[in-house]
């Protein structure tokens, strides 16, 4: 085993020991439980602490660091978003009868985190966890238009004959999205599949998610604006709920 690999294994062992402990663990206890030389344990602990993986409490004992807290907050936000949005997804589904999705931006793509299925026998598939080119979906267009995802550069991937692939035309499309407040797709991901989506804002005024409806074009094509207006209204309601929650958390932390 190389020295580099051995050091990684030892650091991972230390990290696992501290993070799994029910309470902050002392340096002496770490040395006793791992059997490492005190100098080796001290060097590895300092490295983990410098990189935010571990930190010390006021008594000098070690606990999980800022990176773990950051991850936990991010995970909790996603879970809270889904839980808060569920009644709104259900209400939109009741009104439209179509598939309703909630999506967030992750990396350079859009991830759908919740769905209510269509009440029709002929409806859209389950999109939760499935990645598609953002420029082909109404949810992705929302993310691009409102800055949750960087706008793509260069020629865009063609998925169907209706997919917008010209960068200049796509820029114009995003301007239309911002102007009317919601995005529309017409068979750009799959022939005969239409979608409409609206942005959801976080407490800092930035778009954190998108709420969308999708279904067969023959059912949706004459209702794009009606559905879009509905999604804008419901998205604003969800934005308000998220803002109130953020204010409550801020008061509780102060």
Regarding whether 46 and 105 lie in a shared domain, the answer is no
77 and 130 housed in the same domain: yes
Query: Does the pLDDT of residue 244 top 90, yes or no?
Result: no
Total domain count, the chain: 2
Helix, strand, coil percent content, the chain, rounded in steps of 5: 50, 20, 30
Select from 213, 157, 149, 156 the least CA-distant residue to 185. Answer: 213
Query: Is the pLDDT reported for residue 1 higher than 50?
Result: no
Could you tell me the pLDDT band of residue 2, with boundaries at 50, 70 and 90? low
pLDDT grade, residue 16 (50/70/90)?
confident
Q: Mind listing the pLDDT tens digit for each residue in 145-183?
A: 999 999 888 899 999 999 999 999 999 999 999 999 999
Contact 175, 183 (CB under 8 A): no
pLDDT digits (tens, 9 = 90+) for 209-224: 999 999 999 999 999 9
Q: Is the pLDDT of residue 73 over 80?
A: no
* pLDDT surpassing 90 at residue 139: yes
The residue with tokens 């299925």 is: 117
Q: Which of these ranges, 82-96, 118-132, 146-160, 194-208, has the smallest mean pLDDT?
A: 118-132
Tell me, what CATH number does 215's domain have? 3.30.450.40
Bridge partners (DSSP) of residue 216 are: 193
Mean residue pLDDT across the chain: 87
Q: pLDDT tens digit string along 37-68?
A: 999 889 988 988 888 888 888 888 898 877 76
Q: For a pLDDT cut of 70, what percent of the chain falls above it?
A: 89
**Domain boundaries, position 218:** 70-253
Residues 97 and 9 in one domain: no
Do 30 and 138 belong to one domain? no
- Identify which of 51-55, 118-122, 123-127, 146-150 has the greatest average pLDDT: 146-150
Q: What is the CATH number of the domain that holds 12?
A: 1.10.10.10
Q: Based on the domain organization, do 12 and 78 belong to the same domain? A: no
Regarding whether 75 and 58 lie in a shared domain, the answer is no
Report if pTM > 0.85: no
Q: Is 39 in a helix, a strand, or coil? A: helix
Last residue of a domain, one of 64, 95, 113: 64
pLDDT of 59: 85
Cβ(48)–Cβ(14) below 8 Å: yes
How many CA atoms lie less than 13 Å away from 224 in the CB half-sphere?
Answer: 17
Residue 102: closest CA among 240, 213, 228, 188: 213
184 and 113 within one domain: yes
Domain boundary among 13, 34, 64: 64
Closest-CA residue to 142 (of 20, 231, 12): 231
On whether both 152 and 185 belong to a single domain, the answer is yes
Q: Which residue among 19, 43, 64 closes a domain?
A: 64
């Amino acid at each position: 085993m190389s020295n580099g690999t051995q050091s990684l294994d030892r650091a991972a062992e230390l990290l696992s020991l501290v993070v799994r402990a029910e309470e902050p663990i002392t340096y002496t206890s770490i040395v006793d439980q791992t059997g490492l030389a005190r100098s080796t344990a001290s060097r590895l602990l300092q490295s983990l602490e410098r990189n935010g993986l571990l930190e010390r409490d006021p008594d000098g004992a070690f606990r999980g660091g800022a990176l773990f807290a950051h991850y936990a907050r991010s995970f909790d936000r996603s879970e809270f978003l889904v839980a808060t949005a569920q009644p709104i997804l259900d209400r939109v589904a009741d009104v439209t009868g179509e598939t309703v999705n909630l999506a967030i931006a992750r990396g350079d793509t859009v991830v759908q985190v919740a769905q209510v299925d269509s009440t029709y026998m002929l409806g859209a598939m389950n999109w939760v966890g499935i990645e598609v080119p953002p420029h082909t979906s109404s949810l992705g267009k929302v993310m691009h238009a409102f800055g949750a995802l960087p706008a793509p550069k260069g020629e865009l991937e063609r998925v169907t004959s209706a997919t917008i692939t010209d960068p200049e035309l796509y820029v114009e499309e995003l301007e239309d999205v911002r102007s009317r407040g919601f995005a529309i797709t017409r068979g750009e991901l799959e022939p005969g599949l239409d979608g409409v989506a609206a942005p959801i804002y976080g407490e800092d005024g930035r778009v954190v998610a998108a709420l969308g409806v999708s279904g067969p074009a023959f059912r949706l094509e004459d209702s794009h604006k009606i559905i879009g207006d509905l999604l804008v209204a419901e998205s604003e309601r969800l934005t308000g709920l998220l803002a109130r929650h953020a204010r409550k958390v801020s008061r509780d932390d102060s």
